[in-house]
Structure 1
Amino acid sequence: MAIGVHAPETDLMLPRPEPGEQWDPHTIHTYYFGFSIPEAGIGAFLYLRLQPAFPLSQGGVCLFRGTDNVEATDIAFLDYEITMPWPTVDGRTITTDNGLRIEFLEPGHRARITYTSKEGTTSVDVTAEAVTPLLARGHVMPGEENHHDVSRAAGGSEQFMHMTGGLVLDGERHVVDCYAPRDRSWNQVRVEKRGAVPVPPVGWSPMYFGPDLVFNQISFEAPDTEPPWLGLYDVGDRPSHHYAWVQVGDETRTVTWVRRSVLERHPRTHLPLRQVVEARDERGDEYRFEGEAVAAASLPAWPNVSFHDSVYRWRDQQGRTTHATYQEIWFDEFQKEMRRRHAPATAAAL
């Protein structure tokens, strides 16, 4: 299936119910930007989630360093509010109550993201310049699409950006110059009810090696790799990925097969620390990427699941390396299974 491209104005879509309308309370619009500073082991998660049925929003700035961030409050800097009023929207600029500001200088192509902590010791000022098309992406979790409201068109987009600017973290200055994905969703119904979307842990692994190779996929670990979710979820015979693409020069190709294999997990957070992603595109070209985490954290974006962000160092078949976010999300059944498996080792460590 061909990968579509969204119009630039979708960046500004923030519909709300008309007077008298009743929307599903789980309807969401989201914005995600991120960046990494690999040499310092730093990752940034800049997120806004809007709930138009109320209307409310949540989000803010999460900055993490190193791989041993077990709790959200372990990270280097946390300013994330679960309940905020609807953000201020002034033309092409969206500003949250806690000061995260997203200005779309050129929708679909360029944005500036700024933030300053109330203490004034931590700040973000980065510009995002598009290096890939504004590709159309659907739902995040397999099965989530079954809950969407068919009366309102749901959508999503993904795009790789050249992130430049600066970060001040607790008074320490860092230069930002990296390639990182952004994404957003609108009118999606992301249910939080227990058992509504029974799916194994899902991992997102975008990678930018250069204009000749940009890769992205969302999948669960392939069943033939003996993943720890076996026996907890019935995935039938569906593919392990549900969205994947590769950009080769100016050409965007659909990825038709993905096999993701985890080699090592963090002993306490259970996030993959090392893994291999293999893939094949619609033309039959094959890819293999080996990755390891240089920073990782548990984050509060979705309280009904375990949500983790990380900075991964990826290596392609030619030996080239790049860094980008790797994000994974799972439900409580998997968390309990991993705790059971690691209980003896954890007790010994304590």
Structure 2
Amino acid sequence: MSDTDWNSNLGLGFGQHQPGDEFFHGTGEPVDSLTETWFWNFHVAEAAINCFAYCWVHPTLKVVSSGLFIYQGLKASHLECELFEYRDYMSMGVVGDGSDIRLPNGFRAQAIDPLNHVRLTFDDPQRETSVHVDLRAVGVPIMRANNKHFEQVMHATGELTLRGKSYKVDSLPVRDRSWAEPRPENHNPAPPYTWVTGTFGEDFAFNVGSHDDPDRNPDWIDMMPVPARIFNDGWVVVNGEQRRVVKSSKLTTRRGERNSPVTHDYRFEDDRGDAYRITGELIAQTEWGGWSNTSCHLGLVKWDWNGRAGFGESQEVHWNDYVWRMGQARK
């Protein structure tokens, strides 16, 4: 994120998905930072296990970074994950047309039925870890108005073996897909930015991308400038009906020397006028620098919505100014 709006819907409605959106587009302004991504995930909530699987293509540079990592509980480093297997520099041949992404490390993502069924497989005998998980669509993609990004609620089922111990996978993650937009790696003098998802069953799911609300006294309020736009994007799906979030207020509490998120407190409203208060606690977490000039805190959240439990993803980005200023404040 920089001075572009690739992570924002800018208050607009929904776009239209096409079956080909599952596959590699390779379109957009031919700049070095042109980006195309696939994000898949699943979790085993009762064991506090989360899986992050990603494919990130720079079509102009013809370079791919991709892989997966699986972590249980709270980790201080990405290399503390039970499995971290992510390659930074590969040729675009591993992606092909996007229907069957295969990496040299054995990770594979197959589009069995475009926009409806994706199969994830991986096997590492040395680390006694394997993944055999099917992601089947709960609903249609939730497309941004620019028709360059969607999220989609999936039903993940299958088997995970993690360091020799086997688990049944049966969860409702939210995947995402994006293409045709540059993502400059410029410095961003902003406070943390948080992207979260949550599902409470096939009848309700949500997604919000925002900074903390400065009126709620976040940890950075006396040290960082207030961003011009606090809330960037969001949606809810209620019994299959897609609704845009029109306003949102969020407060995240953080701890430790790395200011890792601990809890999230969201208050938001959709375009039908319905209001929501959803709070969550991180039950699994790791840190990963997907870009060298950022630190991304990834995690599995246990959500509470009026006494109803749900689970979902938390991805919070920190930039240099925030990390440096918080370090100075501890001295």
**Structure 2 length as normaliser, TM-score?**
0.90
Q: Distance in 2 between matches of 1:285 and 1:88?
A: 41
User: Which is further off, 224-233 or 297-306?
Assistant: 224-233
Q: Secondary structure at the match of 2:22?
A: helix
Selected match of 1:125 from 116, 119, 132: 132
Secondary structure of the corresponding residue to residue 205 of structure 1: strand
CA distance in 2, matches of 1:91, 1:33: 13
Counterpart of 1:168 (choices 161, 166, 172) is 161
Which residue of 2 is the match for residue 104 of structure 1?
A: 111
Shift of 1:301: 2.3
On the 8 A contact 1:167/1:176 being kept in 2, the answer is yes
Q: How many Å separate the matches in 2 of 1:326 and 1:253?
A: 21
Distance between the aligned counterparts of 1:83 and 1:325, measured in 2?
A: 26
Amino acid in structure 1 at the alignment position of 2:271: E
Q: 1:232 to 1:91 in 2, by over 3 A?
A: closer
Q: Is the 8 A contact 2:52 2:70 kept in 1?
A: yes
Q: Is 1:306 paired with 2:306?
A: no
Match for residue 206 of structure 1 among 197, 200, 205: 197
Task: Give the whole-Å Cα distance in 2 for the aligned partners of 1:14 and 1:117.
Answer: 31
TM superposition outliers: structure 1 runs of 4+ over 4 Å = none
1:329 aligns with 2:317: yes
Contact residue 201 and residue 310 of structure 2 kept, 8 A = no
Aligned AA (1:9): G
Supply the distance in 2 between the matched residues of 1:341 and 1:323 (Cα, whole angstroms): 33
> 1:147 maps to which residue?
none
Please name the residue that 1:142 is paired with.
none
Cα distance in 2, alignment partners of residues 131 and 111 from structure 1: 12
Residue type at the aligned position of 2:23? L
SS of 1:60's partner is strand
DSSP-derived class of the 1:89 partner = coil
Q: Secondary structure at the match of 2:105?
A: coil
Task: Give the deviation of 1:200 after TM superposition.
Answer: 2.5
Please state how far the C-alpha of 1:95 moved relative to its aligned partner: 1.1
**Distance change in 2, residues 1:224/1:88 (3 Å):** closer
Q: Which residue type is aligned with residue 231 of structure 2?
A: H
Q: Does 1:217 align with 2:228?
A: no
Q: Which moved more, 1:126-135 or 1:8-17?
A: 8-17
How far the C-alpha of 1:120 sits from its partner, in A, is 6.1
1:208/1:329 CA distance change after superposition, 3 Å: same
Measured in 2, the distance between the counterparts of 1:120 and 1:224 equals 47
One of 41, 44, 47 as aligned partner of 1:37: 44
Runs of 5+ consecutive residues of structure 2 not aligned to the other structure: 1-11
- Deviation string, structure 1 residues 155-179 (Cα, Å, up to 9, x no partner): 1111010111111111111111100
RMSD of aligned residue pairs (Cα, Å): 2.0
Worse-matched range after superposition: 22-31 or 161-170 = 22-31
Match of 2:86 among 67, 73, 80: 80
Match of residue 218 from structure 2: 227
> Is 1:3–1:245's contact at 8 Å kept on the other side of the alignment?
no
CA contact (8 A) 1:161 1:181 kept: yes
Amino acid at match of 2:158: G
Query: Kindly tell me: are residues 91 and 279 of structure 1, through their superposed partners in 2, closer, same or farther at Cα, counting changes over 3 Å?
Result: closer
Q: Percent identity?
A: 29
**In 2, Cα distance between the equivalents of 1:5 and 1:57?**
27
1:1-350 matches, cutoff 5 A: 1-15=12-26, 23-67=30-74, 69-86=75-92, 87-89=94-96, 92-117=99-124, 119=126, 121-137=128-144, 155-195=148-188, 198-230=189-221, 231-236=223-228, 238=229, 240-262=230-252, 264-317=253-306, 319-343=307-331
Letter in 1 for 2:55: L
Q: Which amino acid aligns with 1:242?
A: N
Contact 1:70 1:268 in 2 (8 A): no
Alignment check: 8 A CA contact 2:214 2:226 kept: no
What stretches of structure 1 of length at least 5 have no aligned partner?
139-152, 344-350
| Contact 2:53–2:67 (Cα < 8 Å) also in 1 | yes
